[in-house]
């Protein structure tokens, strides 16, 4: 282990098979991957290559059919539902392609959502969420709802939500997929800055321009790692 | 923990606000169910109270000894009752000497189809033969004139005290005291008028003539020989126990009467002993049937209401699949999601319950204004309405909530 760069996630020979109707789809066929503090990883691959499945397993949204996945040396497959929820809450932040904000909540309430499940008091929740929104340039949008904001603004709210609980890894699944190229590159600058500040980011994309921001590119093909 | 629940309640309020009409329609089943139950329960309770008051008013803690049961419960052999020995004024005398008894009086009565005074006429007057102690046993008071006395009884005087109904209807413009009535060819002089007593179980207690039993025997020398007349038309004995001795009175009277009737120990009683408690019980048995019917109706409407809630919660879960996915992605556990939806369905049911309670109270109040029925509201009814709706919310909310909690986050996030 390199000093100061401890391993956070370790995936060993991960397989994932799921059923689409009566057809078994082998999304992952033995992926081994390690993520360390302050990594900036892009996972690339064509659609159907299993990159989304991989990031879902890494972020504890899904579980592997075979293989071992360790979170700071703890085996995730032994986790209960509540522990998995806890891991998603405390360990990871997640940024989705389609923003995935709750339409009825204001920006600040959307950002505060992970803190609700972490059991943080309302006053602290609001304070922390407002701070992050300000930092990300949305200080004047705190009380706006998603439908009152542009796509770029929504995605920034989503990033703020991913950051609010000071997670160990931030996962992003095609974070620029729904944005025009200008807004997309603004979002990528935010990710770059986050990593400079010492955070760890793992991103799924099929856009090589986006992937080039990362320090390490993992390319996936047919459920296997094709090159690093 | 409290914080968490408050959070979920405020979420529920939000959902309720967003879907006002839908939520209201969903709660309607519960509203109707709870309001019906509250309205009817408070009316029954009102009825119960007034009956209890009436039973109290006949005289507290009386014990009745009679040849036939007060109410024929089920098939009973009338022949057997008719062949029992008659009760007599002598029995009353013997009973009045028991240590636990304050007063015991013979009481015999008939109904007169008509009673006339000049051009006035009333129907169904009860003529009652008893002693001078009748008034103190039955909590009656003479309003004008005087009661008859022991002397009147011993000398078979043809005097009577009349109920207020008789006085009002036969003598609307004059004092009845001193006037004479004619019953089966006997002239009876009115010497007193009772204060109004009201109705008991729908029967007027004031449409009666009270005369010395000795004179009654002169008017009705025999009571008829049919089985029915022999079974039901004899003396009964009204007993007023000394304070707090009701239990002892029944035991002592039973023992005394068995001795007087020379009943061997293996024979059943050939007389009936009743207390006011029993009267109350008879009444309660009658109302219980109505009560059970209402509970059944209420249960059905609550189940229907509950199914409405379940249905709308399932719709809500489907609609909010993405929301559930997002919440799970940022760290909500199955438990969190489950309780969120459960709180929501309970909230919905409780809103229905509270509206139902208020509506029911309003309904009971309106009925008691426009009809002679009195409504009486107790706290337990409100509690019951509240508890029932909460239970419906939990019971019918648990399935949709479990369904929401069990959603796979990935699939939920993909859901469009």
Cβ pair B331:A117 closer than 8 A: yes
Q: Which residues of B touch A62 (CB under 8 A)?
A: 408-410
Cβ pair B326:A101 closer than 8 A: yes
Query: What pLDDT score was predicted for residue B38?
Result: 87
Min Cα separation B407/chain A (Å): 12
Q: B159 and B214, same structural domain?
A: yes
Q: Which of A169, A165, A170, A177 is nearest to A207 (CA)?
A: A177
Query: What pLDDT score was predicted for residue B57?
Result: 66
Min Cα separation B23/chain A (Å): 17
**pLDDT for residue B385 is more than 70:** yes
Q: B301 and B163, same structural domain?
A: no
Q: Which residues of B touch A96 (CB under 8 A)?
A: 329, 413
**pLDDT for residue B337 is more than 90:** yes
How confident is the model over B338-358, as a mean pLDDT? 92
Confidence of residue B59 (pLDDT cuts 50, 70, 90): low
Q: B299 and B157, same structural domain?
A: no
Within-domain flag for B89: yes
User: Domain locations in chain A?
Assistant: 38-64+80-227
Q: Which residues of B touch A114 (CB under 8 A)?
A: 330-331
Edge-first strand order for the sheet with A40-44 is A92-95, A169-173, A201-205, A40-44, A216-221, A224-227
CB B375 within 8 A of CB B43: yes
Size of interface A-B (CB pairs under 8 A): 66
Min Cα separation B318/chain A (Å): 15
Q: B95 and B31, same structural domain?
A: no
Query: What pLDDT score was predicted for residue B194?
Result: 93
Cβ-based neighbour number of residue B31 at 10 Å: 24
Q: B404 and B302, same structural domain?
A: yes
Domain-ending residue, one of B238, B270, B302? B270
Three-class SS of B231-268: HHCCCEEEEEECCCCHHHHHHHHHHHHHHHCCCCCCCC
Q: B259 and B192, same structural domain?
A: yes
Query: What pLDDT score was predicted for residue B327?
Result: 93
Within-domain flag for B275: no
Structure tokens belonging to residue A70: 């360790």
Cα separation, B358 vs A183, whole angstroms: 56
The overall average pLDDT reported for chain B is 87
Within-domain flag for B48: yes
Query: What's the domain range around B403?
Result: 2-53+282-414
Min Cα separation A107/chain B (Å): 15
Within-domain flag for B10: yes
pLDDT per position as a tens digit, B147-164: 989 999 999 999 999 999
Does A171 or B302 have the greater pLDDT score? A171
Within-domain flag for B351: yes
Min Cα separation B409/chain A (Å): 6
Three-class SS of chain A: CCCCCCEEEEEEEEEEEEEECCEEEEEEEEEEEEEECCCEEEEECCCCCCHHHHHHHHCCCCCCCEEEEEECCEEHHHCCHHHHHHHHHHCEEEECCCCCCCCCCCHHHHHHHHHHHCCCCHHHHHHHHHHHHHHCCCCCCCCCCHHHCCHHHHHHHHHHHHHCCCCCEEEEECCCCCCCHHHHHHHHHHHHHHHHCCCCEEEEECCHHHHCCCCEEEEEECCEEEEC
Cβ pair A85:B413 closer than 8 A: no
Q: B206 and B133, same structural domain?
A: yes
Q: B192 and B154, same structural domain?
A: yes
Q: Which of B191, B168, B198, B201 is nearest to B282 (CA)?
A: B201
Min Cα separation B3/chain A (Å): 8
Cα separation, B215 vs B159, whole angstroms: 8
Domain-ending residue, one of B242, B270, B298? B270
Q: Which stretches of chain A drop beneath a pLDDT of 50?
A: 1-3
Within-domain flag for B62: no
Q: At what angle are helices A81-90 and A107-117 packed, to 10 degrees?
A: 130
Cβ pair B329:A88 closer than 8 A: yes
Residue B258 CB partners (closer than 8 Å, separation 6+): B269
Cβ pair B330:A86 closer than 8 A: no
CB B402 within 8 A of CB B334: no
Cβ pair B413:A96 closer than 8 A: yes
Of B3, B14, B330, the CB nearest to A104: B14
Query: What pLDDT score was predicted for residue B256?
Result: 93
Query: What pLDDT score was predicted for residue A2?
Result: 46
CA B150 to chain centre: 38
Cβ-based neighbour number of residue A204 at 10 Å: 28
Within-domain flag for B196: yes
Within-domain flag for B60: no
Cβ pair A94:B329 closer than 8 A: yes
Domain total of chain B? 2
Instruction: Classify residue B20 by burial, with Cβ atoms within 10 Å: 0-12, 13-18, 19+.
Output: exposed
Cβ pair B330:A96 closer than 8 A: no
Q: B79 and B222, same structural domain?
A: yes
pLDDT per position as a tens digit, B181-233: 999 899 999 999 999 887 766 677 889 999 999 999 999 988 778 888 888 88
Cβ pair B327:A117 closer than 8 A: yes
Q: B154 and B132, same structural domain?
A: yes
How confident is the model over B87-102, as a mean pLDDT? 93
Cα separation, B348 vs B359, whole angstroms: 16
Cβ pair B3:A122 closer than 8 A: yes
Q: B102 and B212, same structural domain?
A: yes
What's the topology of domain A38-64+80-227?
A: Rossmann fold (3.40.50)
């Amino acid at each position: 282990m390199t000093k100061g760069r401890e391993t956070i996630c370790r995936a060993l020979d991960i397989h994932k098979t799921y059923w689409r109707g009566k057809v078994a789809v082998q999304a992952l066929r033995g992926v081994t991957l390690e993520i360390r503090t302050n990594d900036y990883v892009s996972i690339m691959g064509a659609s159907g290559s299993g990159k989304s499945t991989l990031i879902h397993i890494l972020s504890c949204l899904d579980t592997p059919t075979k293989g071992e996945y360790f979170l700071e040396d703890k085996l995730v497959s032994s986790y209960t539902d509540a522990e998995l929820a806890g891991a998603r809450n405390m360990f990871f932040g997640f940024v989705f392609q389609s923003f995935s904000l709750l339409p009825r909540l204001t920006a600040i309430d959307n950002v505060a959502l992970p803190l609700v499940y972490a059991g943080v008091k309302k006053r602290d929740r609001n304070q922390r969420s407002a701070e992050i929104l300000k930092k990300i340039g949305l200080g004047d949008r705190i009380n706006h709802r998603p439908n009152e904001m542009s796509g770029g603004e929504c995605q920034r709210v989503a990033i703020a939500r991913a950051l609010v609980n000071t997670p160990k890894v931030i996962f992003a699944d095609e974070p620029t997929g729904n944005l025009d190229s200008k807004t997309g590159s603004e979002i990528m600058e935010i990710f770059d800055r986050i990593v400079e500040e010492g955070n760890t980011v793992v991103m799924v994309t099929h856009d090589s321009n986006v992937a080039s921001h990362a320090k390490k590119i993992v390319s996936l093909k047919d459920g296997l790692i094709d090159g690093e | 923990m409290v914080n968490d629940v408050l959070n979920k309640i405020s979420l529920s309020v939000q959902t309720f606000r967003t879907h006002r009409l839908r939520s209201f329609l969903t709660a309607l089943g519960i509203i109707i169910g709870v309001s019906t139950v509250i309205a009817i329960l408070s009316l029954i309770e009102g009825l119960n109270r007034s009956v209890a008051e009436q039973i109290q008013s006949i005289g507290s803690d009386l014990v009745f000894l009679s040849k036939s049961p007060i109410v024929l419960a089920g098939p009973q052999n009338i022949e057997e009752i008719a062949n029992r020995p008659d009760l007599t004024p002598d029995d009353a005398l013997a009973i009045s000497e028991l240590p636990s008894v304050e007063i015991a009086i013979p009481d015999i009565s008939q109904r007169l189809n008509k009673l006339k005074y000049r051009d006035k006429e009333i129907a169904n007057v009860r003529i009652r033969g008893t002693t001078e102690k009748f008034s103190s046993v039955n909590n009656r008071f003479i309003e004008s004139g005087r009661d008859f006395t022991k002397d009147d009884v011993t000398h078979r005087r043809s005097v009577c005290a009349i109920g207020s109904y008789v006085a009002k209807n036969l003598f609307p413009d004059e004092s009845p005291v001193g006037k004479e009535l004619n019953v089966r060819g006997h002239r009876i002089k009115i010497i007193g008028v009772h204060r109004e007593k009201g109705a008991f179980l729908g029967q007027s207690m004031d449409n009666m003539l009270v005369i010395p039993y000795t004179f009654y025997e002169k008017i009705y020398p025999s009571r008829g020989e049919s089985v029915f007349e022999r079974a039901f038309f004899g003396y009964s004995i009204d007993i007023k126990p000394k304070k707090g001795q009701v239990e002892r009175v029944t035991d002592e009277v039973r023992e005394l009467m068995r001795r007087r009737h020379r009943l061997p120990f293996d024979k059943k009683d050939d007389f009936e002993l009743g207390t006011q408690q029993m009267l109350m019980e008879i009444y309660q048995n009658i109302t219980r049937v109505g009560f059970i019917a209402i509970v059944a109706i209420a249960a059905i409407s609550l189940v229907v209401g509950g199914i409405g809630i379940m249905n709308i919660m399932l719709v809500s879960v489907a609609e909010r699949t993405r929301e559930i996915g997002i919440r799970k992605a940022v760290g909500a556990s199955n438990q969190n999601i489950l309780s969120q939806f459960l709180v929501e369905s309970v909230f919905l049911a409780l809103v229905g319950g509270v509206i139902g309670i208020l509506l029911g109270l309003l309904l009971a109040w309106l009925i008691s204004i426009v009809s002679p029925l009195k409504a009486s509201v107790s706290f337990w009814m409100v509690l019951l309405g509240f508890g029932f709706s909460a239970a419906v919310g939990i019971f019918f909310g648990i399935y949709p909530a479990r369904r929401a909690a069990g959603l796979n986050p990935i699939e939920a996030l993909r859901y469009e």
